[in-house]
Amino acid sequence: MLTEFKWQGRTDEEDGKQGLRWHQVMNSTNSEPNLPNCHLLGLACDLGVKENKGRVGAQNGPKEIRSVLANLPYQYNVNLHDRGDINAQSNLADCQQEYAQEVANSLQQSTFVIGLGGGHEIAWGSYLGLHQAFNHTDAPTAGQKRIGIINFDAHFDLRKPAPNASSGTPFRQIFQHCADNTSAFHYACLGVSRTANTRALFEFALQSNTQFLLDENCCLESAQSLLLPMLREIDVLYVTICLDAFPSDIAPGVSAPSSLGINTKFVLETLRWLASQQTILGYQWPLMDIAELNPKYDIDQRTARLAARLVFESIDARFSFKRLHPSM
């Protein structure tokens, strides 16, 4: 069952339509039929973080991200809709399956879906929903679509479930799903920390043909060189951002803080580049998510504000900077 969030915030009545904020346009009954739709969908869960022996508290992440998004200025020609949260109870697999179904439903109704976490166990649910929407035999988009995944993360999250799945296993689960379905595993991880991954994880990354950039080597030019071969081989792109990829001074509210981290500007530049390459290379980018916001350890909402900025900029990039005001 989906839980709704009450959108509320500041109102700048003196500015009319030019002063609109997210909370004023979210789920509007006056949505423009000719505009693309963007859906928000949360997975309020940190059962995977707990299983992974991380700091619990990320189940409150989706609500905290929305609380910051509410007051952001509305600067798009896009209809914004919030579908609510899947709230985890006691079974990780069940809530991931429920979330996956909602992702698939949203993908059939919108141009762009943004998942809000929660722990990085959201990635397994996001992938399953994307696969169902694009590769299910009864789906309108039936036909085997090659899925590519780009993960901004300090961790590979390629751990083998032993025996249980966790926030550290989603891309290993995806690898196995690809193997079971005789499809290629297209996965790139940007921001990998040498101090956050064991030798076994690096070895499996090589065995699985995982593409990666170490945190110290992350820049747009390096990302372009790494990603272009993969982007030429895929039909559908899924982008996931783990907030522990960023330095702990700007992202203290995460399950596992980073000792070095990657630059926010690098991530934004890469997102804009990925959006621009859709028409050039012919793939679709219908889905992204943000993971590992833990409000319990945040300071002055730094991490929540970072997450909200990433959501804001992703929509901006995804819809080609098409804003309301021509001078912006």
290 within 8 A of 243, measured Cβ to Cβ: yes
Q: Percent of the chain having pLDDT more than 70?
A: 95
Backbone angles phi, psi at 173, to 5 degrees: -65, -40
Q: So what's the pLDDT on residue 110?
A: 87
The rounded distance, in Å, linking the Cα atoms of 274 and 325 is: 24
Q: So what's the pLDDT on residue 14?
A: 76
Global pTM reads: 0.95
| Alpha-carbon separation of residue 221 from 243, 280, 296, 324 (angstroms) | 22, 17, 36, 31
pLDDT tops 50 at residue 291: yes
pLDDT tops 50 at residue 322: no
DSSP 107: H
262 within 8 A of 222, measured Cβ to Cβ: no
- Alpha helices, DSSP H, located in the chain: 22-25, 47-51, 61-69, 92-107, 122-135, 170-180, 199-207, 220-231, 264-281, 302-318
pLDDT tops 80 at residue 141: no
* Nearest Cα residue to 244 out of 199, 287, 190: 190
pLDDT digits (tens, 9 = 90+) for 82-125: 999 999 988 999 999 999 999 999 999 988 999 999 999 999 99
- Both tokens assigned to 302: 């730094």
What would the mean pLDDT of 30-52 be, rounded to a whole number? 92
What would the mean pLDDT of 287-314 be, rounded to a whole number? 98
- The per-residue pLDDT of the chain, averaged, comes to 93
Cβ atoms within 10 Å of 167's Cβ, excluding its own: 33
pLDDT tops 60 at residue 190: yes
Cα-based angle 55, 120, 112 (whole degrees, multiple of 5)? 140
Backbone angles phi, psi at 235, to 5 degrees: -110, -30
| Alpha-carbon separation of residue 108 from 102, 137, 157 (angstroms) | 10, 14, 28
